[in-house]
Chain A
Amino acid sequence: MPAEPWYKRLYNWVERRVQLEGPIKDAVLHPVPRSTASWWYVFGSASLVLLILQVVTGILLALVYAPSAAHAWGSLQMLNDVLPLGWFLRAMHGWGSNFMVAVVLIHMAQVFLFGAYKFPRELTWIVGVFMLLMTLGMAFTGQVLRFDQDAYWGLGIGASIMGRVPWIGGQLVHLLLGGPIISGATLTRFFALHVFVIPGILLAFTGLHVWMVLKLGINEWPMPGRIVRRETYVQEYNELAHKDGIPFVPGAVWKDLVFSAAILFAVAVCAAVFGPYGPKGFPDPTITNTVPKPDFFFLWIYTVLSFLPPDMETPFILIAPVVAVIVLIALPLVAGVGEKSWWRRPVAVFVLMFVAVCWGEWTHLGTYTPWSPVMNAWSGAPVPPDLLHGRTPLERQGANVLQEKQCRNCHALGGKGGERGPALDEVATRLTEDQLYRQILLGGGNMPAYGSALSPAESTALVRYLETLHPGYQPAAEDASRYVVNSGGVPKNSTVQRGAGQTPTR
């Protein structure tokens, strides 16, 4: 027997005991259709790599993080500022989370577009839906562990949504918060969820998901006219994989490897350039001078919640997510056979584009929240000088009232201020004096009534000032009947006299 080198003997010694070579070789060398060695097929493996990155960076952060409401914020500050490269690990974990959600969503869209959820891969998709939910759960619980003001009030939003559940809402809130109100018990249970419960289940599901991909084979490139039939599909696929196939390693895997490396590098670059997320303000609920906002991937929910009419809110919040999950789970069971190609699935393509556009627009709106009052505009955004030029003292006093009564929190002047209500730069062209009084004193159309907050002198000054807000080329709106009463007739050469707007007679 020729003497083998020591490492070979060591390998053989271990292999005779664990016997893993066979299954691993089978998995690595299994033939895949040539068409799947594509740059479109790299997102699943990239999600896995990002998950591993999150586990590793998460464990490293857990070495330092103190899951106590009194100390969490301080321990994050220490990671940021004191521990060498603590900031970089926090940034890697934060950006890794963003990338993971993004790549998982792209993976899902690709699988949907390529019809990869169809027979026999229905369960792979359904398991994947739960993995998506757990990924989002990780993102939310992670945001809570970054125990700052956003986390505190984000928990409040979560509790408020829970509290809307009929009958057991109150109990659910206490279950979610671990007590009657957001406190130390809330943070410890979200720590357990983020560190043990959800990742444990997510890893188990990932194993199952990858196992099924190996057993059922990677979805072939969809071709128009290649119909999926339960009776023939497996045979057709095997033919495709064996006759026109290549071994997964190295034929297809090199693209996965290159893309994963690129993604990891992108995470590292983002982490190094943009740094860690927060923590923002100290989680003291008595600091009410705060504008809570969710993380990027939840901005769209924030937007949707602001646009729902009050009476639709509770049913929508409670029913829509359930319906969405049911639709996702039912998709492969309902549409499990037939065409896979996007050329023959216009509805699927449209749905995907529609969802993507909605998501993008809602997220975009969520970045600048036009529905929220700008809380410091009344004291921070002065009236533009040209809107004060040439005004009488009374009108200028009106501008004072406008600032002092927080009108600017919802109404912009010169592009600055809230966008909840219409901008006031040209309000006089839209409302007559009487209409202005009515609107200010009685409110309406989403504006509060200011009747009790303004003295008669203040309202007069305010309306006089608003009356001056019109461009030079366009007069202020006037009540025609008032003119008629005052001067006993319609003004000469007025639109009324000329009969404008009436059907011309010939």
Chain B
Amino acid sequence: MDEKLPPPSQQEQQQQLHAERVSRRTFLMNVGIALNALVALAIATPVVGYLLGPVLRRKEYLAWVSVGNVNDFPVGETKLISFQNPFSEPWDGATAKIPAYVRHSASDEFTVFAINCAHLNCPVRWFSESQLFMCPCHGGVYYADGSRASGPPERGLFTYPLKVESGKLLINAGQMPTLQNRAKIECPGARKTESSQIVARIEPCQQSPGTSVSTIG
């Protein structure tokens, strides 16, 4: 180790570096890098496809599910039901069951509400005595027809598209309703003009957030 060569001069260094840059070894190294980049790309493509699998499949995420016989739902009542998620796997356990509320307002007039509060998806609870849905998380409240009554939600409850076939009530379900992900799920809150008599009479909530003077007294 002791017999060190004298260091090359500045000019020699430059020449060596230049030669190094264009040498066959450098070229081969670059080829190697390019090959690796190509292979990485080839591998990455299926990986990305795999990761995006849940998104790419999303057109299939709606199916018609029976929630029971039409006769099971007395007129004028709202009932908590549950149905099997059409896209469930054996290891889903209890999460394969999805709850929903079926409202039979008049003969042959059904509405099926998602359990999820339109605010942040918590499970709303139906109180038949006061005809209200209340959310335990942030205090969202909805009327019996699903329209927003008070609290932070910016719209009414999500509803499922439904149809009646040979005495059975079918809903088009399968995915979690969220504000963006409506996927043909109608929103009663959006139909401002058709909202119920009670709602039409009260002042719209956006204009009076918080407690109004009349409540404070």
Contact = CB atoms under 8 A, between A and B. Distances in A.
A302 B139 CA distance: 12
Contacts of B120: 156-157, 160-161, 305
Nearest to A447: B150
A70 B209 contact: no
Interface stretch (A323-331, A346-354, A381-389, A404-412): A404-412
Interface string B129-173: 111101111110101100001111110000000000000000000
B176 interface: yes
Contact of B125 (A157, A288, A443, A453): A288
A373 B87 contact: no
Contact of B154 (A180, A313, A410): A313
Contact of A170 (B131, B183, B210): B183
A174 B211 contact: no
Contacts of A166: 180
B70 interface: no
Contacts of B52: 175
Contact of B93 (A69, A439, A448): A69
B201 A449 contact: yes
Majority DSSP secondary structure for residues of B touching A:
loop
Interface in A286-311: 286, 288-292, 302, 305-306, 308-311
B114 to A, nearest CB: 11
Contact of A173 (B87, B119, B154, B180): B180
A284 interface: yes
B78 interface: no
Contacts of A413: none
B94 A285 contact: yes
Contacts of B85: 180-181, 183
B154 A169 contact: no
Contacts of A165: 180
B95 A152 contact: yes
Contact of A310 (B94, B143, B153): B153
B134 A409 contact: yes
A159 interface: yes
Nearest to B93: A70
A209 interface: no
A68 B91 contact: yes
B99 A285 contact: yes
What band does the interface of chain B fall in when counting residues whose beta carbon is under 8 Å from A? 35 or more
A450 B214 contact: no
Most chain B CB atoms below 10 A, which of A153, A179, A306, A311: A179
A182 interface: yes
B115 interface: yes
A406 B131 CA distance: 10
A283 interface: yes
Interface in A215-251: none
Contacts of A438: 214
Interface string B195-211: 01111011101101111
Given A159-B176, A446-B151, A448-B150, A153 B93 contact: no
Interface string A269-287: 0000000000000111110
A477 interface: yes
A307 to B, nearest CB: 8
A305 B205 CA distance: 17
A447 B121 CA distance: 21
Nearest to B151: A446
A420 interface: yes
Interface in A429-445: 429-431, 435, 438-439, 442-445
A185 interface: yes
A263 interface: no
B202 A292 contact: no
B178 interface: yes
B187 interface: no
A169 B180 contact: yes
A371 interface: yes
B29 to A, nearest CB: 27
A173 B178 contact: yes
A170 B137 contact: no
A458 to B, nearest CB: 10
B180 A289 contact: no
Interface stretch (B14-22, B33-41, B54-62): B54-62
Contacts of A444: 202-203, 208, 212, 214-215
Interface of B: 51-52, 54-55, 58, 61, 80, 82, 85, 87-99, 115-116, 119-125, 127, 129-132, 134-139, 141, 143-144, 149-154, 174-176, 178-183, 196-199, 201-203, 205-206, 208-212, 214-217
7 contacts: A70-B91, A153-B123, A160-B179, A171-B58, A180-B175, A448-B150, A453-B130
Interface of A: 68-71, 152-153, 156-157, 159-171, 173-175, 177-186, 282-286, 288-292, 302, 305-306, 308-311, 313-314, 371-373, 375, 378, 404-407, 409-410, 420-422, 429-431, 435, 438-439, 442-453, 477
Given A160-B121, A446-B151, A446-B211, 7 more contacts: A156-B122, A180-B85, A185-B89, A286-B94, A375-B134, A406-B132, A431-B217
Enumerate the 6 nearest inter-chain pairs by beta-carbon distance, A residue then B residue, closest first: A163-B178, A169-B180, A70-B93, A430-B217, A445-B212, A180-B175
